[in-house]
Amino acid sequence: MYAHDEGPTCSGSGCPPAEYCHHCLNLNDGVCGKFGSRAYESSSWLDKNGAAMPWLPQEEYVEGQTILIKSYLDTHHNGHMEIRACNKGPDCTQADFEGNHLIFVKDTVFAGNHIGEFYAVRGSSK
């Protein structure tokens, strides 16, 4: 999302290349998304100048805190999403995320979306 939100307008060192297809990032080579030949893994994500992107945390959270996550779920089959967290910054691995599901509390946009009865980690699009 950072490359989608900031990439088109910022310039210089530490600015990500513009990403216009944030839902295309469902593919990956490891932990982070990729689109075409551009991967967002910490070891290979380059800024607009070709230098390594700096680690720029967007927020810090406390365990148990309720947080707001902006997302876009475009599906025709009433799918769901799962959000996971890691506190190791650029050193996160897939295994770090696997054991750290965030719990879906409520949808602040569509009142009909609900917490799954058996899957509290899923935000449903029903």
Averages of pLDDT over each 10 residues, the chain, 126 residues: 81 84 68 71 77 84 86 68 83 85 79 61 57
Are residues 46 and 74 both part of a single domain?
A: no
- State the pLDDT at residue 25: 65
Are residues 71 and 122 both part of a single domain?
A: yes
Contacts of 6 (CB under 8 A, 6+ apart): 15, 16
- State the pLDDT at residue 43: 65
Range of the domain at 102: 63-126
Domain count, the chain: 2
- State the pLDDT at residue 126: 47
Q: Sheet of 38-39: strands edge to edge?
A: 27-28, 33-35, 38-39
- State the pLDDT at residue 77: 65
What stretches of the chain show up as alpha helix (H) in DSSP? 2-5, 94-98
Are residues 73 and 41 both part of a single domain?
A: no
- State the pLDDT at residue 112: 60
- State the pLDDT at residue 74: 67
